[in-house]
Amino acid sequence: MTPPGFDIRRLTYADLPQVIAIERRAFPTPWSLAMFVLELSKPSGICLAAWHRPAIAGGDGEPRERICGYLICSKYDTVWHVMNVSVDPDVRRQHVATSLINGLLERVDDPLGQYTLEVRPSNGGAIAMYERFSFITAGMRRRYYQDNGEDALIMWRTPSTLQGRLDDVPNAWPVPPTSSMPRT
């Protein structure tokens, strides 16, 4: 369910200036404009924007909608790879990322769908949200993040993870439960 005052829509090329502004505020090593253009050009991808309709009007009295978050997901063979989820720091903890993930799952609408993503072990909030969607940690990419060399947890959501198992996750290996991993 999308929170009041927010709307989830397909991301377009015209939205990219706002997306780039959020990307630069949200990440130490932001994606380039070319990276977003490439992902938007893939016909099999799903790219979503969360729009915020503030209660306070602009100078002309009209409410000004703005993008406050986005999700980039590409399909590779049979697996959906969630590549980028970001929420403007000013509206975090308002269920925007949850609404974007819900929007993705609704659009794919495949009970046998497989999804994967990478996330920093230090990003406890994101990990907890992904776990609520039955993503399970099934591996690690060493020194994945260029800004500080932090590892990345590889998380999967598959028919098996919906039941708390990793049976259908490719190359899964035991990883300590994310809830017991250190948070910074």
User: What CATH number should be reported for the domain whose range is 111-184?
Assistant: 3.40.630.30
Q: CB neighbours (10 Å) of residue 7?
A: 14
Q: Does the pLDDT of residue 1 top 70, yes or no?
A: no
Measure CA of the first residue to CA of the last residue in the chain; give whole Å: 29
Is residue 83 within 8 Å of 39, Cβ to Cβ?
Answer: yes
Q: How confident is the model over 92-150, as pLDDT tens digits?
A: 887 899 999 999 999 998 888 999 999 999 999 999 999 999 999 999 999 888 788 88
The whole-number pLDDT of residue 129 equals 94
Check if 1-109 and 111-184 are the same fold: yes
172's CB contacts (< 8 A; 6+ apart) are 138, 139, 156, 166
Confidence of residue 176 (pLDDT cuts 50, 70, 90): low
How do the residues of the chain divide into helix, strand and coil, expressed in percent and rounded to 5?
A: 30, 30, 40
Architecture of the domain made up of 1-109: 3-Layer(aba) Sandwich (3.40)
Considering the chain, what is the average pLDDT of its residues?
86
The whole-number average pLDDT for the span 16-40 is 93
Q: Is 105 helix (H, G, I), strand (E, B) or coil?
A: helix
* 95-104 burial: b if 16+ Cβ within 10 Å, else e: bbbbbbbbbb
Domain boundaries, the chain: 1-109, 111-184
